[in-house]
Amino acid sequence: MLTSRRRTAALAALACLALSSCSGGGGGDEGRTAASVPAAVPAPASSPAHPPSSAPASPAASAPQVTSASVSPAASATPAGARWAGTKQFVQIKDAWMSGGRTYLAVRSARKQSATGPIEAWEIIPGHGTYATVPLARDGRILLSVPLGDDSFPYAYSATEFINRLKAESPSFREGLGFDLSFDANGAVVRLQSLYTP
């Protein structure tokens, strides 16, 4: 078990080293191409918008940032999708919306614990901290089970159905929902599955 943890840590360190060396070297952003930097993510229509500044943008101010109603400036410096690229994460979803033909999710990390008893299910342990905005891949798959879906087994739903079902629930109810997300190499969600909670 200890060997497995060491391998995981070593692989994570190598991946970080490889990713940092692919960015053009030297620690600067000069070598990055537009394709390697994620585009800014639009905030949901329900969040308060910040008025555009009339001052000329500095190079640091023009760097792409993730925007969300509750994402702090420090948290938005490293987009969550890029941080989670190629991984699976367990999260809570506060909000979901469509903008420019894409679906976006406001997520934060959470934990799940098996709740065995008369019915096998999951207990969701809410995370703390800010929510980050991540995009759903255009061909991303959404699988829902009870309470957002209609059955205890996960079935496929469209992004529109998912958004409508999520928004129909109160914020306090959403706190008790948990989702397994799989991210592609670009940090977009390719699979979203809700956990069965009776």
Is residue 92 assigned to a domain? yes
Is residue 79 assigned to a domain? yes
* Statement: residue 112 has pLDDT above 80: yes
Is residue 172 assigned to a domain? yes
Minimal CA–CA distance to 133: which of 37, 41, 35?
Answer: 41
Give pLDDT, residue 152. 87
Is residue 31 assigned to a domain? no
Give pLDDT, residue 81. 72
CA distance 134 to 80: 6
Is the pTM of the predicted complex or chain greater than 0.75?
A: no
Residue showing tokens 């800010």 = 130
Is residue 128 assigned to a domain? yes
Angle at Cα 155 formed by Cα 150 and Cα 87, nearest 5°?
A: 125
Minimal CA–CA distance to 76: which of 43, 46, 53, 44?
Answer: 43
pLDDT digits (tens, 9 = 90+) for 13-72: 444 444 444 444 444 333 333 333 344 444 444 443 333 344 444 333 333 333 333 333
More confident residue, 178 or 7: 178
The number of distinct structural domains making up the chain is 1
Is residue 190 assigned to a domain? yes
Q: How confident is the model at residue 184 (pLDDT cuts 50, 70, 90)?
A: very high
Pairing of strands 88-99, 179-183: antiparallel
Under 8 Å CB-to-CB from 94, ≥6 apart: which residues?
70, 106, 107, 108, 131, 171, 174
pLDDT digits (tens, 9 = 90+) for 73-96: 333 334 667 889 999 999 999 999
Give pLDDT, residue 79. 66
**Residue 138 structural domain:** 72-194
Minimal CA–CA distance to 175: which of 131, 142, 139, 127?
Answer: 127
Is residue 156 assigned to a domain? yes
